[in-house]
């Protein structure tokens, strides 16, 4: 009987750990597929910013990503390089540390454990990262002293493909 219990415990732990989607297995996020073209996105894109190394950022409006774990995003921004989706930023209006921790817990359940990291960026009061070989996901909590005015009092989830 003990042997069976040990085996069942081992199997349940293995099945539970395998239910985590490692960040590198992520090819899409709530309807957005990395590598897709702007034309394939359901909804409308409004050009917001062009970065010097060729990434065009668009503000997204449409049916995808209406909420994440019960929280409604205030903005979704998509970054395309060579007309392929490479970056996805999800903004939430001011969340407190408890709400940040709750979203973090949901993300860790789905994508595995994150690593807290320190950033020299002013205004960041919480930062977590999932660092894969192909994809990086970062989760930031900003206060009202963030240098980028768009980030002030925001919580931002960023996903980006790793370039070689």
Q: Domain locations in the chain?
A: 2-161
**Within 13 Å, how many C-alpha atoms sit on residue 122's CB side?**
6
69-119 pLDDT, tens digit each: 999 999 999 999 999 999 999 999 989 999 999 999 999 999 999 999 988
- Cα–Cα–Cα angle for 42, 47, 51, rounded to 5 degrees: 120
Q: Are 162 and 132 in contact (CB under 8 A)?
A: yes
**Distance of alpha carbon 144 from alpha carbon 142, whole angstroms:** 7
Its pTM stands at 0.82
pLDDT (0 to 100) of residue 164: 67
């Amino acid at each position: 009987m003990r042997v069976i219990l040990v085996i069942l415990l081992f199997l349940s732990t293995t099945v539970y750990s395998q239910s985590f989607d490692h960040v590198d297995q992520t090819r899409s996020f709530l309807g957005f597929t990395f590598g897709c073209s702007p034309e394939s996105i359901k909804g409308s894109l409004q050009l917001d910013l062009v970065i010097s190394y060729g990434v065009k950022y668009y503000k997204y409006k449409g049916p995808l990503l209406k909420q994440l774990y019960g929280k409604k995003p205030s903005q979704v921004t998509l970054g395309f390089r060579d007309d392929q989706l490479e970056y996805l930023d999800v903004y939430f209006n001011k969340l407190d540390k408890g709400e940040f921790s709750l979203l973090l817990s949901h993300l860790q359940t789905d994508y595995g454990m994150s690593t807290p990291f320190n950033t020299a960026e002013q205004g960041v009061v919480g930062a977590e990262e999932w660092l894969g070989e192909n994809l990086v996901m970062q989760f930031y909590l900003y206060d009202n002293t963030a240098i980028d005015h768009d980030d002030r009092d925001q919580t931002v989830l960023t996903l980006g493909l790793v370039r070689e």
